[in-house]
Amino acid sequence: MSTPDDLPRMDRRKALQWMLTATATMAVRDPNLFAADTTPIKAQGYGTDPVMVKVYKPGDVWPLTLTEPQRRTASALCDVIMPADETSPSASALGVPDFIDEWISSPYPAQAGDRLLILEGLKWIDEEAIRRFSKAFADLALEQQITLCSDLAAAKPQPEYKKHVSFFKRFRDLTAGGYYTTPEGMKAIGYVGNMPSGSFEGPPIEALKHVGLA
């Protein structure tokens, strides 16, 4: 019987690269994944398993947070970040605002900070839109919305926007996460997971280079 030391060195190195790539990907997707947080979850009824054959709608598992005005702002911002094009629908058309609402409404400690960050950010971006353009963000022309978002996404934002940059970055990440976990989003990036495969060659070289492993 062979032992791990009998395996070729290159095989072990590749296996390590694959594991590190998977770990790095999870960490990028959710920076709180490996955080040591022992705060108890306080939610009435938490602990029961969902019925796996049932289709759940937003708000079925826990109450949602966004008000109608907040939802309008969130939908408009989602569509600035992920607009429709000739091959893919917009973020709001795929229900990404529902995804964000469920995310910030969930009773887990990791989402508690996001809830405050998103709610305060949506309030601020409406106030800033009114201050600069005399309209709520959802009512602005697309060019005005992009101008406002570009100030938050700048490599070196102006001092008055620095404290709001973290809101925009997190909202952008949640928008992308919600979009690319829909069937349409997965199709747009060519994701072919959950399909039978006779072999696995490991992550592509581009992915390994991206995380510094090749």
Q: What is the pLDDT of residues 86-116, one digit of tens each?
A: 889 999 999 999 999 999 999 888 888 899 9
Residue 17 CB contacts under 8 Å (≥ 6 apart), including other chains = 202, 203, 208, 213, 214
Residue at token pair 């940059």 = 165
Asked if the structure places residue 42 within a domain, the reply is no
Percent of the chain with pLDDT over 70: 77
* Residues counted in the chain: 214
Residue 136 CB contacts under 8 Å (≥ 6 apart), including other chains = 69, 72, 73, 126, 129, 130
Residue 204 in 3-state DSSP?
coil
Asked if the structure places residue 33 within a domain, the reply is no
Global pTM reads 0.67
Q: Give residue 6's pLDDT.
A: 42
Query: From CA 60, how far away is CA 102, in angstroms rounded?
Result: 10
Asked if the structure places residue 169 within a domain, the reply is yes
CA-based nearest residue to 91, from 30, 100, 143: 100
Asked if the structure places residue 2 within a domain, the reply is no
Please tell me which of 48-62, 97-111, 185-199 the model is most confident about, judged by mean pLDDT.
97-111
The range of the structural domain enclosing residue 158 comes to 51-77+90-188
Q: Give residue 194's pLDDT.
A: 73
Percent of the chain with pLDDT over 90: 49
Count how many domains the chain has.
Answer: 1
Measured over the CA atoms of residue 182, residue 187, residue 188 and residue 191, the dihedral's sign is positive
Asked if the structure places residue 179 within a domain, the reply is yes
Q: Give residue 60's pLDDT.
A: 79
What 161-169 contacts at long range (C-beta under 8 Å, 24+ apart), as own/partner pairs, is 164/121, 164/124, 164/125, 166/117, 167/117, 167/118, 167/120, 167/121, 167/124, 167/125, 168/121
Asked if the structure places residue 183 within a domain, the reply is yes
Q: Give residue 139's pLDDT.
A: 97
Asked if the structure places residue 193 within a domain, the reply is no
Radius of gyration of the chain from Cα atoms?
Answer: 21
Query: From CA 136, how far away is CA 15, in angstroms rounded?
Result: 52
CA-based nearest residue to 75, from 96, 56, 45: 96
What 80-84 contacts at long range (C-beta under 8 Å, 24+ apart), as own/partner pairs, is 80/142, 80/145, 80/146, 80/149, 81/149, 81/171, 81/172, 81/175, 81/176, 82/175, 82/176, 82/179
Asked if the structure places residue 173 within a domain, the reply is yes
